[in-house]
Amino acid sequence: MPTYSGRISSKLPHVGTTIFTVMSRLAAEHSAINLSQGFPDFDCAQELRDLVTKYFNAGLNQYPLMAGVPRLREAIAEKVETLYGTRYDSEHEVTVVPGATYGIFTAVATLIRPGDEVILFEPAYDSYGPAVEVNGGVPVYVQLKYPDYSIDWAGVQKAITARTRMMIINTPNNPTASVFSGEDMRMLEAMLRNTGIVVVSDEVYEHIVFDGHQHQSVARFPGLAERSFVVSSFGKTYHVTGWKTGYVLAPKELMAEFRKVHQFNSFVANGPIQHALAEYMQNKDAYRSLAAFYQRKRDFFLECLKASRFKPLPSRGTFFQNLAYDAISDERDMDMALRLTKERGVASIPVSVFYREPPAHRVLRFCFAKSDETLARGAEILSRI
Ligand code: PMP
Ligand code: GLN
């Protein structure tokens, strides 16, 4: 084994292995029911697998265009216009990327220079802070208000300085399962007017919003769309998280800069998968039925937990249900999550890992993108605690 003997000054000294890898590995080691990392334990549609096979066999195995397969970009632009009323030009304003994480990272790398401040909401999805820091930026955190994780707009206003270059928002939100309201978006639109702040809007759960609410894409708000990168992913929408295919939308001036970075990073996303997705997107039912599909799973999981001492927090979108456990233990959530996995056989994610300093409240995040049988077994164990 070679050994590096030079000095390494880490660009991310505080970062270890992601909690998702840690908990999934621990779940496997202890044969625990894995409700930690967010991915479905059921397969994607047969039709979609057949389409990928078709395009793998159709001689489309070389580099696609840098910005993405044209008919997929067109299908994305049409969907966004239908749903959110804004037309993005598929030639200049839509780019297909190898996953949303990559899209967010590339948007940050495109604009952030050393010392630039980026506003993030805490708890923050785990890739945001490191993406900012590795590019020399300074994350500035605004706390979401527990227990409904609403936004402290006065706090956001206070966090804005002359050095603020960007804000990363995420609705529906991971890990809190909260959603921005139309009023939130109008507040944001008004607050950013006459500033040079660019928004990166992580909308990977755009089709998973519950109880009749609407997804508030920045694409619905002209004052936001004109300053935003909208990032989404096919992973959550079609149950294909392992395909790592997503897309980014932005006004062409921003997108031109984004593509300069993208072309020297991955350059393209997987070609045959793009062709398959373009054809599959003609089936609009697949995303239209998604919210009802996951709402039923949320309700099923909650019903199975009725007798439990865990206390559900509101889950308004995403495929996560947070549970508080004040009535059970005063352990730290990390300890609780480790113990539940090792001793009881149910893995979850401790929400404190999405904060720099553990907050006073203690909450575990459970993923309900699982078969009913898995959810019932997991809930049954939780109900005995
Ligand atoms: N953003 C959020 C909020 C997520 O939850 C996830 C993945 N679960 C991603 C981005 C990453 O999406 P992708 O796998 O397409 O990179
Ligand atoms: N976003 C997924 C989750 O929240 C995990 C993705 C990953 O493992 N990086 O659980």
Residue nearest to atom 5 of ligand 1 (CA): 174
Do 19-44+288-383 and 46-286 show the same overall fold? no
Q: Is 176 in the pocket of ligand 1 (CB under 6 A)?
A: no
Cβ–Cβ under 8 Å, residues 322 and 365: yes
Residue nearest to atom 8 of ligand 2 (CA): 20
Is the pTM value of this prediction over 0.85?
Answer: yes
- 16: pLDDT strictly greater than 90: no
Cβ–Cβ under 8 Å, residues 249 and 233: no
Pocket residue to mutate for ligand 1, from 207, 233, 274, most atoms within 8 A of Cβ: 233
pLDDT of residue 177: 98
Tell me the domain boundaries of the chain.
Answer: 19-44+288-383, 46-286
Q: Is 38 in the pocket of ligand 2 (CB under 6 A)?
A: yes
What distance in Å separates the CA atoms of residue 32 and residue 238, rounded to the nearest whole number?
A: 26
Cβ–Cβ under 8 Å, residues 378 and 35: yes
Per residue in 138-147, pLDDT (tens digit) is: 999 999 999 9
Q: Is 20 in the pocket of ligand 2 (CB under 6 A)?
A: yes
Band of residue 134 on the pLDDT scale cut at 50, 70, 90: very high
Mean pLDDT of 359-369: 96
Identity of residue 132: V
Q: How many CB atoms lie within 10 A of CB 371?
A: 12
Percent of the chain with pLDDT over 90: 98
- 32: pLDDT strictly greater than 90: yes
Per residue in 80-107, pLDDT (tens digit) is: 999 999 999 999 999 999 999 999 999 9
CATH topology assigned to domain 19-44+288-383: Aspartate Aminotransferase, domain 1 (3.90.1150)
Band of residue 225 on the pLDDT scale cut at 50, 70, 90: very high
Per residue in 318-354, pLDDT (tens digit) is: 999 999 999 999 999 999 999 999 999 999 999 999 9
Residue nearest to atom 10 of ligand 2 (CA): 38
Q: Is 100 in the pocket of ligand 1 (CB under 6 A)?
A: yes
pLDDT of residue 295: 98
What distance in Å separates the CA atoms of residue 83 and residue 219, rounded to the nearest whole number?
A: 9
Query: What architecture (CATH level 2) is domain 46-286?
Result: 3-Layer(aba) Sandwich (3.40)
Per residue in 275-284, pLDDT (tens digit) is: 999 999 998 8
CA atoms within 13 Å, Cβ hemisphere of 336: 24
pLDDT of residue 285: 87
Q: Which of helix, strand or coil describes residue 53? A: helix
